Structure 1
């Protein structure tokens, strides 16, 4: 018989698994919802010394008490930290680890260290009572810790009412792993309303993300649930059925692309653009228009292309060396405008602040170049780099003649944990005034990303923002490298023509 050990995230307890555990038992399995020290009805057992190792020890003792041969251990959200720690100490007892809308923390990583929003980390630490316990979120605060999509009102009431303080040490102590856990079969259950999906994972795989490439393994499977971060409350029956399938080794398996070592960004630009020389200055490359003999055209307008991400720091080629951005830079230079490409440091979800600084520095460097007309500059954002457009939308400088975005993400996805970050174009567009915005929208966009575009366009319409939408028929996210069709070529030509039109008026 299979036994399921069910571990929830912070501020909760075993009660949150009540329906799921019942369904598993009805299916003939054993179910052990875990209440860790200080959680649920054990809230009074915690003290200042309660830490991650305490919770790992709780789970190890529970595993040792289970007689069933197969033990599937499920970690929800931040609850995956003690789950991986316990599985690492008892690898011979664990048949599979299920990451329920959870990441894959590695040796040396803590919950706090993985929170991408520095302000959220600071707020959480400031809230700690007596210096060691963090109060449960209020009803208004719970959405910052994961989408509540699908959670019935009565279940949300219970989540708020039964939330207990979380010992700070369970969030701040680093996870220590021997490496044994890495060999265990693993299943990821992705909650699409929280911003995670198999399609997004496969996109990252195609880009050569080494962490995703490591998941190309017959022992690693994936499922999706069309709900928010709390499937045990929103879709308990579906979750129980999914856990049973995971225990049986079912699920979607990733397949490495034929050239996994060569990212998709190196497969060629969709337009036939003659290669042009470029000048490298720090993090930027400049593509300069041809000079006509005997003429002095003076400073030229410029377009700065801002790539998406996160992009691993060691990925080669870097974005500005990829065929996509070499193509864009060369294309606009051939049309008489200075093309500028940039390598910014968006290496993880928590790097948006640093990447925004890189973009701002690149803008100043470009505008200071005597060959550039400092009063006629456009910024063009791609994919998840779209969040970096928020600063410029919120306070457009007079020299910014146009802002473009191609298959953009225009609001942080709930799973990213960015809270009330300033990098939220759906809010910033209300302050954009009459800044021309050119948005290229792909027909076959990831659903999670498409939602943010819809929200952005709704906000833009409400405030009367000047947005031109260029639809890309049958286009996918990253279409420059995967969809070389007449439709996608025309969309690029039209978008470039529109941006350059705003620059030269």
Structure 2
């Protein structure tokens, strides 16, 4: 018999697992939903001293009471913190740890770091300001989206979520998680909810970027599943979730590939082979210079992310960006690659400052015609285009975007309206926009592109779409097809055309 211990996230109690637990029991499993101290019908037990260790103790006590020798322990959202704390203390009792749309917290990290509501993150980073500030009030009925996508949750279930929500003791989110390392040796499974902005493809790409913290995810004992729903799958797809948990307990699931003897996708060759041009490094930027006299127009290529700070080579040296820059230089314009500091989703402000400083540096270079500049954004860097769309600059002749993220993904918790291109495009006027769209885009990103295009159409923005049939996210180093080459050529010539007009 498989025994499950189900630990809920912020504001909720064991009741949230009711339908999932019933289906697991129907399959013959033993199920133990957890209501942590201070939550739901235990809310009267909460106080200023209720912290993460309190909740770790709750889970440890329950594990000790279960007669089954080993349990599969599931943590949703915040619940992964007490789950890992308990697994670290009782590793011999744990058959598998399941991260249900949850992060991978490390030793010394508080749960506040993974809170998606930016306003709450900001509040938790400061001192308590009142006697009642020891607890965080749950969101209103229309505010749950700030804690994760509510896609798929029926209206009555969302209403019940609000009715039964209890304040979250502040110290459960601010006290650092303490781990000895024992839990890291246990088999684990990640269940990713794609409507909340996570997917196996995104995790695989992140591993390929070289983040050392993610290397462990390629261990064969680590598996993954996807659910096409939002952040509360126990309410939106309980039957599917129960099935996934049973399969996870059996060791099933997708395993990430670790490239053997070949570079990761972003370090493979560029799909074109332009003539080699002179390249010069100035601070955080590289100038790819044409063989031409006099100041030339420039195209600044802005990479996506987040990219781990430890990633080597850095993006300006990736074959795709260097390939684009060499190509435009071979056609008579200055190609610019740069490194900006988008290392986490909280770094967009800093990255925007880096891009602005790089543009100033490029425009001041005597080899550049500072009155003819284009900015070209890729992937997660697409959010950085909002600053440039929203304000008129006569020297900015074109904004381009390739497989861009054009709205913050729900799991990012990025509520700053500054980084919303779908809003900013309404201020773009007649600024030309060249958007390269791939047919096989990740669903969670494709939604943001459609939102942007709808807003652009509504305000009659000037958008040229370059489609890549059969193209993937990052197609320039993945899809060496005629359609892909044609798309790059068309997009580059379009951007250069706007610079020369």
TM-score, structure 1 length as denominator?
Answer: 0.96
Equivalent residues of 1:120, 1:419 under 8 A apart: no
Q: Residue 458 of structure 1 aligns to a residue in which SS? A: helix
Q: Residue 326 of structure 1 aligns to a residue in which SS? A: helix
Which string of whole-angstrom CA distances, capped at 9 and with x for unpartnered residues, describes residues 461-485 of structure 1?
1111110000011111101111111
Match of 1:216 in 2: 218
Equivalent residues of 2:277, 2:290 under 8 A apart: no
Equivalent residues of 1:307, 1:381 under 8 A apart: yes
Gaps of 5+ in 1: 292-296
Distance 1:288 1:130 in 2: 61
Q: Residue 180 of structure 2 aligns to a residue in which SS? A: coil
Match of 2:437 in 1: 441
Q: Deviation at 1:117?
A: 7.2
Distance 1:259 1:210 in 2: 18
Match of 2:271 in 1: 270
Equivalent residues of 2:73, 2:98 under 8 A apart: yes
Which string of whole-angstrom CA distances, capped at 9 and with x for unpartnered residues, describes residues 264-303 of structure 1?
2322111111222211111001111113xxxxx4321111
Which string of whole-angstrom CA distances, capped at 9 and with x for unpartnered residues, describes residues 116-168 of structure 1?
77655125668987120010011221101111011011000001111111000
Q: Which moved more, 1:368-377 or 1:169-178?
A: 368-377
Which string of whole-angstrom CA distances, capped at 9 and with x for unpartnered residues, describes residues 170-226 of structure 1?
001111100000000001111111111112222333444433332111211111111
1:187-202 aligned within 5 A: 187-202=189-204
Match of 1:12 in 2: 12
Q: Which moved more, 1:314-323 or 1:96-105?
A: 314-323
Q: 2:424 aligns with which of 413, 422, 428?
A: 428
Q: Residue 419 of structure 2 aligns to a residue in which SS? A: coil
Match of 1:61 in 2: 61
Q: Deviation at 1:83?
A: 0.8
How many residue pairs were aligned? 499
Runs of 4+ in 1 over 6 A off after TM superposition: 125-129
1:152-171 aligned within 5 A: 152-171=154-173
Q: Deviation at 1:114?
A: 3.5
CA change 1:6–1:117 in 2 (3 A) is closer
Equivalent residues of 2:20, 2:234 under 8 A apart: yes
Q: Residue 92 of structure 1 aligns to a residue in which SS? A: helix
1:60-459 aligned within 5 A: 60-115=60-115, 119-123=119-123, 130-259=132-261, 262-291=263-292, 297-459=293-455
RMSD (CA atoms)? 1.6
CA change 1:117–1:435 in 2 (3 A) is farther
Match of 1:294 in 2: none
Distance 1:52 1:440 in 2: 46
Q: Residue 221 of structure 1 aligns to a residue in which SS? A: strand
TM-score, structure 2 length as denominator?
Answer: 0.96
Distance 1:421 1:58 in 2: 39
Equivalent residues of 1:127, 1:135 under 8 A apart: no
Match of 2:463 in 1: 467
Equivalent residues of 1:117, 1:421 under 8 A apart: no
Distance 1:470 1:129 in 2: 57
Distance 1:445 1:120 in 2: 32
Match of 2:492 in 1: 496
Which string of whole-angstrom CA distances, capped at 9 and with x for unpartnered residues, describes residues 368-408 of structure 1?
11221211110000111111111111223221110000011
Equivalent residues of 1:7, 1:33 under 8 A apart: yes
Distance 2:130 2:247 in 1: 40
Q: Which moved more, 1:282-291 or 1:125-134?
A: 125-134
Q: Deviation at 1:432?
A: 1.3
